[in-house]
Structure 1
Amino acid sequence: MAISIITKEDLQEFKTELLESIEKLLQGNTSEQKLWLRTSEVKELLHVSSGTLQNMRINGTLSYSKVGGMLYYNYKDIQKLMMDFKRSPIINTHGKDER
């Protein structure tokens, strides 16, 4: 069995290659995101029921487009909605998250 010695330089090169690979994967995922989502995809993404999603359409919380009887939602609108409702953790005196 042959013994290989790994140097600090080898580890640094591996780290650099690994980080570059991870960056490429992350960039690839964002570009693959569909711009328009169907109702079922939005319900899954937001973890809401059909009724809740209908209420969001009715009260104008989430805009949509209707084409040939199908409803489509813009992914950017969903992202904005999620950011608008993003909450900061409330920490009590015991250091526990009280959301």
Structure 2
Amino acid sequence: MKVEFLTKEDLLELKEELIAEIRRYSPFYRKKNEQVKEWIKSSEVIKLLSISPGTLQNMRLKGIIPYKKIGGLIFYRYEDIVEMMKTEL
């Protein structure tokens, strides 16, 4: 069995590649002259991160992802999502 080691540099490179891919395919990321949505709904975050509603709720409860509740809707800043992904890796 061949053993391969991952270095911190390997992980940082992977992180940058993942973020680039998310930006490439994200409907929320700015394309040439388009505006990024500043606030997105829970359903959009779930789709963007490919997570379940329960996982998103746990992230809110643990303080991993900041949010604002207006009426019965919960909104997240797109930039907070991007920052959370950068720091969580």
Fold similarity call, TM over 0.5: yes
In structure 2, what residue type is equivalent to 1:72?
F
User: RCO (CA 8 Å, sep 6+): is it higher in 1 or 2?
Assistant: 2
Partner of 1:27: 32
Partner Cα distance (2:42, 2:31) in 1: 26
- Aligned-pair identity in percent equals 42
Partner of 2:87: 84
Q: Show CA shifts across 1:60-89 (max 9, x none).
A: 000100001100000010000111133xxx
Gaps of 5+ in 2: 1-29
2:57 to 41, 54, 59: 54
Q: Give RMSD over aligned pairs.
A: 1.6
TM-score of the two chains, using structure 2 as the length reference: 0.62
Gaps of 5+ in 1: 1-24, 87-99
Q: Spell out structure 1 runs of 4+ moving beyond 3 A.
A: none
- Tell me which structure has the larger Cα radius of gyration: 1
Aligned length: 60
Q: Show CA shifts across 1:3-36 (max 9, x none).
A: xxxxxxxxxxxxxxxxxxxxxx94324xx21000
